[in-house]
Structure 1
Amino acid sequence: MPLFAVICTDKPDHLQTRLDNRPDHVAYLKDTGAVMAGPFLNGDDTMYGSLVVIEADDMAGAEAWATNDPYAKAGLFSDVRIEKWNKVIG
């Protein structure tokens, strides 16, 4: 099954939104079988975005996954980019 990288940037000053929705987001990652995931960190180690690698049949499936992420539903992201990704190492 193809892999997709879901690359998200948080809206400014939305750290509390991230923290409030983190348990639901992590459960969603586990329930949907995300391949790997983690937050981007700024200079003081504050979370400000996400990288999630998922399996999906096609781009439409990856977009549906991203739309249903609890973070997205909470309005956390200013930008979401989805790229088909080819794992070479790891």
Structure 2
Amino acid sequence: MWYVIYCEDVENSLPLRKQTRAAHLERIQLLVDQDRILVAGPCPAIDSKDPGEAGFTGSLIIAEFDNLSAAQQWADGDPYTLAGVFKKVTVKPYIKVLP
């Protein structure tokens, strides 16, 4: 089943994001390689594809896991979570209807 992992950043998270980005993307790439990612990406702090120093307010991942517990465990082990980038992580089941 698909699960939404919605993560909200701490204030001024950009330096932490930059330090941890490679490990975060490497971990997500494993799900991509297994065809288990529907979508993944950050939420810019301003209305721009490149927010620069304004940074980001969070991230969204929709990925396939066996169950809610597995999705939560994956989210708990994310490098951004472990580095303190996120102040809140919400994991919920998701049903894709369109397209």
The answer (yes or no) to whether the contact 2:41–2:61 under 8 Å persists in 1 is yes
Does 1:14 find its partner at 2:17? no
Question: Can you list the C-alpha shifts for 1:22-44, whole angstroms capped at 9, x where unaligned?
Answer: 11101100113333200001226
Per-residue CA deviation, residues 59-87 of structure 1 (Å, 9 max, x unaligned), is 10000110111111111111101111111
Q: How far, CA to CA, are the matches of 2:57 and 2:25 in structure 1?
A: 16
The aligned counterpart of 1:24 is: 23
Mapped partners of 2:78, 2:39: distance in 1: 15
Distance 1:9 1:77 in 2: 5
TM-score by length of 1: 0.90
8 Å contact 2:40–2:62 — kept in the other structure?
Answer: yes
The percentage of aligned residue pairs carrying the same residue is: 30
What amino acid is aligned across from residue 89 of structure 1 in structure 2? L
Q: Does 1:75 align with 2:75?
A: no
**Is the contact between residue 15 and residue 48 of structure 1 (CA under 8 Å) also seen in structure 2?**
no
**Contact persistence 2:3–2:92 (CA under 8 A):** yes
Q: What is residue 4 of structure 1 aligned with on the other side? A: 3
Give yes or no for contact 1:25–1:69 (8 Å, CA) kept in 2.
yes
Following superposition, which runs of at least 4 residues in structure 1 exceed 6 angstroms of deviation? none
Query: Taking structure 2 as the reference length, what is the TM-score of the superposition?
Result: 0.83
5+ residue gaps, structure 2, are none
User: What is the root-mean-square deviation in Å for CA atoms of aligned residues?
Assistant: 1.3
